[in-house]
Amino acid sequence: MTSVTDTLRFRHVVFRNYRVWRKLLAASLVGNLVDPLFWLVGLGFGLGSLLPTVSGLPYLEFLGSGMICYGVMYSASFEALWSAFARLKQQRTWEGILHAPMTVTDIVVGEWVWAALKGTLSGVAIFIVMAALGLVRSPSALWAFPLMLLTGLAFSGIALVVTAVAKTYDHFVYYFTLFITPMVLVSGVFFPTAQVPPAVQVIAQLLPLSHATQLMRAIVLGQPLAGAAGHLFALAAIAAVGVTVARALVARRLR
């Protein structure tokens, strides 16, 4: 019979990664937090000064809520790709962990949760900047925090699948160029999805960033949103499928 302690063994992987990350804190913060903040401030004030409103909102407000999701996606993906791959292949950390009373599931779930937590940290940083600029309108905006974690779980699950099949770091270029970049452009982060062709709009509604952005914008700006439950279900399903497939692929690779 599986005990609660056995079920939560993945927390040791999370704590191990946290202790390593602490030593590289400055570089990690610059890479994962400052980049999205530059986009927010640069585009929000620069391009925003040239635009009247976007979807009835000042451009800085429209962009800020989307950039929260962008920051979560970017940070969680980076951790579950480059950092996880280093532990898998270069450092062979995962093989070493298996010599302890740990399983492949513990490793993958630990990496999944850790990457999502790092993504959440990036989202929180952008949220704080928005609050400081007076762009957070309602106390209900605090629901953005669990949504950040769910978004991080969705993207870290997908990224771990890519990590499990990648042979070198160069393979991640395909993932970012062919999936992440097009998704960012059509998911409503920088401009409304309604501006793209109808066929692209249909595809965009299937992408995790689109679900996250629509939910985040409604929560942070205090706007009603039809179909919120559907967006939440989609993100949860993507997260669950991602980590399940990643677990199977990693088990096969380590075998």
Between CA 236 and CA 239, with CA 237 as vertex, the angle to 5 degrees is: 65
Phi first, then psi: give them for residue 57, nearest 5 degrees.
-120, 150
Place 33 in a pLDDT band, splitting at 50, 70 and 90: low
One-letter identity of residue 28: S
Q: Does the predicted model carry a pTM greater than 0.85?
A: yes
Q: What is the pLDDT of residues 225-238, one digit of tens each?
A: 788 999 999 999 99
Confirm if 162 and 175 have CB atoms less than 8 A apart. Answer: yes
Place 4 in a pLDDT band, splitting at 50, 70 and 90: low
Domain with 45, as residue range(s), is 4-254
pLDDT for residue 176: 93
Q: How many domains does the chain have?
A: 1
Q: For residue 211, give the nearest of 72, 82, 117, 55 by alpha carbon.
A: 72
Q: What is the pLDDT of residues 77-101, one digit of tens each?
A: 999 999 999 999 989 999 999 998 8
Query: Mean pLDDT over residues 148-171, rounded?
Result: 96
Phi first, then psi: give them for residue 165, nearest 5 degrees.
-105, -10
Distance CA 41, CA 39 (A): 6
Place 32 in a pLDDT band, splitting at 50, 70 and 90: low
pLDDT for residue 221: 84
Phi first, then psi: give them for residue 228, nearest 5 degrees.
-60, -40
Distance CA 75, CA 18 (A): 14
Q: What is the pLDDT of residues 9-26, one digit of tens each?
A: 999 999 999 999 888 777
Alpha helix (H) residue ranges in 42-103: 59-78, 84-85, 93-97
* pLDDT > 80? residue 34: no
Q: For residue 108, give the nearest of 4, 240, 250 by alpha carbon.
A: 250
Query: Mean pLDDT over residues 126-143, rounded?
Result: 84
